Amino acid sequence: MSSPSHSAPLLDSLGRPLGQLRISVTDRCNLRCHYCMPEEEYHWLPREDLLSYEEIAELAATFAAVGVDKVRLTGGEPLLRRDLERLVGLLAANERLRDTALTTNGILLAESAERLRGAGLGRVTVSLDTLRPDRFLALTRQDMHDRVLEGIRAAAGAGFRKLKIDTVVIRGTNEDEILDILEFGREIGAEVRFIEYMDVGGATMWAPGKVVSRAEMLAGIERRYGAVEALAAEDAAPAERFALADGTTFGIIASVTAPFCRTCDRSRLTADGMWYLCLYAQRGTDLRGPLRGGASREEMVRLLSEVWGGRTDRGAEVRLEARSRGPLVSIESLRRDPHLEMHTRGG
């Protein structure tokens, strides 16, 4: 199959390029974080609908042909998908994809870090919301905190280009651990990013009062360490980065109080091949249908170009303008369409 080249970058209707693709490889998860999967029952994507690794690699190559140069594997829990290193290898072999990254809850990372690194995975982000095993159990419904810490240590030793820790900060849950997690990151050699609790997908327990704002997080950090220095932004990364006086860096992702839609170059592919242009988007584009129906690379490139060219999404900014705010999607809607879930869309 020939691969059409792109010259002028593909821009959406607000002038934003198509740069990063988050690929969810499964909607299943081995945790039940209360800010993401608080329910007892879920409707899972049918197995026959899941894209094979070859199909994912073909779609990634099509995205690369229209400008995507960074991909991130996510889920659900991506390490639940067997032999994930095989997919990493297929993606790493694509010269246009200069960066392949992974976001994981870390539970299966200790046994897979070396293999993933060997296959060409460049960067790893592990989600870690607490350093306390009892809190972890309450937050995730699984008694597996030690495995996450083991996974983080294994990743730190495996020589990835970058290791990050993502912490969703929730009032009444873990806002008292910001400084401890910052220290933990410093010790282990990982940059911590604190994320404001978002009202997306399955966050049916979300309420405005549970959001700890960027301003509040910064104030707490400055009380302990003194003034922090704001650093220049990394590409179109969502995190604002800061440095403590000793050089320790950290990030804050203020998706709720200071959204960054204006520079957003990210889109999301679900495990069954639905393409979403925004974390908050209610509708997506089916790419599995045309792919399995035999569409050529050129036809797929045309489809991506048309859809991205019409993109107007700025979900978090629109939410900020809403007068009263609660969970974005009702439980009934989530049951009707699991694609609206964060664990299906990949975060």
CA-CA distance, 248 to 336, in Å (whole number)?
Answer: 45
Based on CB atoms, which residue is closest to ligand SAM, 10 or 198? Answer: 198
Instruction: List the x/- string, 198-237, binding to ligand SAM by CB under 6 A.
Output: x-x--x----------------------------------
Tokens of 241: 């980065």
Q: CA-based angle 123:128:133, to the nearest 5?
A: 140
Interacting residue with ligand SAM among 10, 97, 269, 342 (CB under 6 A) = 342
Q: Tell me the one-letter amino acid at 251.
A: G
- Nearest distance from C-beta of residue 342 to ligand SAM, angstroms: 4
Which of ligand SF4, ligand SAM, none does 203 bind, CB closer than 5 to 8 A by kind?
A: ligand SAM
The reply on whether position 280 binds ligand SAM by CB under 6 A is no
CA distance from start to end of the chain: 32
Sheet of 99-104: strands edge to edge? 229-230, 240-243, 249-253, 191-196, 162-169, 123-127, 99-104, 70-74, 20-24, 266-269, 274-276, 285-286
Token readout for 182 is 């910052």
197 binds ligand SAM per the rule CB under 6 A:
yes
104 or 285, CB closer to ligand SAM? Answer: 104
Q: Are strands 274-276 and 285-286 parallel, antiparallel or unpaired?
A: antiparallel
The three-point CA angle 14-72-59 to 5° equals 75
Query: For 234-324, where are the E strands, in sequence order?
Result: 240-243, 249-253, 266-269, 274-276, 285-286
The verdict on 165 binding ligand SAM (CB under 6 A) reads: no
> Which residue number, 37 or 291, has a Cβ lying nearer to ligand SF4?
37
315 binds ligand SAM (CB under 6 A): no
Cβ 81 to ligand SF4 shortest distance, Å: 13
Encoded tokens for 117: 């690194």
Report, in Å, the least distance between residue 275 CB and ligand SF4. 13
Alpha-carbon distance values, 298 to 8, 59, 129, 255, 308 (Å): 16, 12, 43, 35, 15
Site for ligand SAM, residues 240 to 259, rule: CB under 6 A: none
274-276 and 266-269 as β-strands: parallel, antiparallel, unpaired? antiparallel
Give the interface with ligand SF4 as residue ranges (CB under 6 A): 29, 31-33, 36-37, 75-77, 105, 127, 259-261, 264, 266, 278-280, 313-316, 343
* Residue 198 interacts with, from ligand SF4, ligand SAM, none (CB under 5-8 Å by kind): ligand SAM
Q: By CB under 6 A, is residue 75 in contact with ligand SAM?
A: yes
Positions in the binding site for ligand SAM (CB under 6 A): 29, 35-36, 74-75, 77, 103-105, 127, 166, 168, 195, 197-198, 200, 203, 342-343, 346-347
